[in-house]
Structure 1
Amino acid sequence: MPRLPDDDEWLVRERRAIGDRIRVVRLHQNRTQESVFLAAEVSRSAYQAVEAGTADARITTLLKIARVLGVHVTDLLHD
């Protein structure tokens, strides 16, 4: 399948949007990053990269984060 010219930009925007949604939910709950990554049993660096949108997240990681935050994983993927 041919690569679209804006694939990289699109992926970066989407990763950042997911991270932003995680951050908004976390802050709305007055939680620290530490409280979330510890409860989700995710490494600090992995969690910070997901929330910053700088790395691809495994679905397992997103599911764990969503569960800790009390939201459905689709809430993190869609506006």
Structure 2
Amino acid sequence: MPHLPDDDDWLLQERRAIGDRIRVARLRQNRTQESVFLAARIGRKTYQDIEAGAVDARITTLLRIAYALGIHPAGLLRD
């Protein structure tokens, strides 16, 4: 099993990568943040923070976002 790095910079990088994937999927569909967070039934601030990579997202919230975007949830976690 791989050893986790001593610092948490990698976590921030991963959160930002997930947020970037969400933003790219949204923009490819020419959708606004509002259309996605309303469809996902989550708050505006929560959505904005997730897309910015500023917070840890609950799996339920990521599932809601993926469903609202019509993409497989695994697509948010990997390239």
How far the C-alpha of 1:34 sits from its partner, in A, is: 0.3
Report runs of 4+ in structure 1 exceeding 2 Å deviation. Answer: none
TM-score (norm 2): 0.93
Cα distance, 1:5 vs. partner? 1.8
Q: What is the alpha-carbon root mean square deviation over aligned residues?
A: 1.3
Q: Which residue in the other structure is 1:41 paired with?
A: 41
- Measure how far apart 1:76 and its partner are: 0.5
Distance in 1 (CA, whole Å) between partners of 2:6 and 2:68 is 37
Could you say which residue in structure 2 is the equivalent of 1:68?
A: 68
Where 1:14 maps in the other structure, the secondary structure is: helix
Query: Equivalent residue for 2:22?
Result: 22
Deviation by residue 1:40-78 (Cα, 9 ceiling, x = unmatched): 000001000000000000000000000010001000000
Gaps of 5+ in 2: none
Identity %: 66
What 5-or-longer segments of structure 1 have no aligned partner?
none
Residue of structure 1 equivalent to 2:5: 4
The residue that corresponds to 1:58 in the other structure is: 58
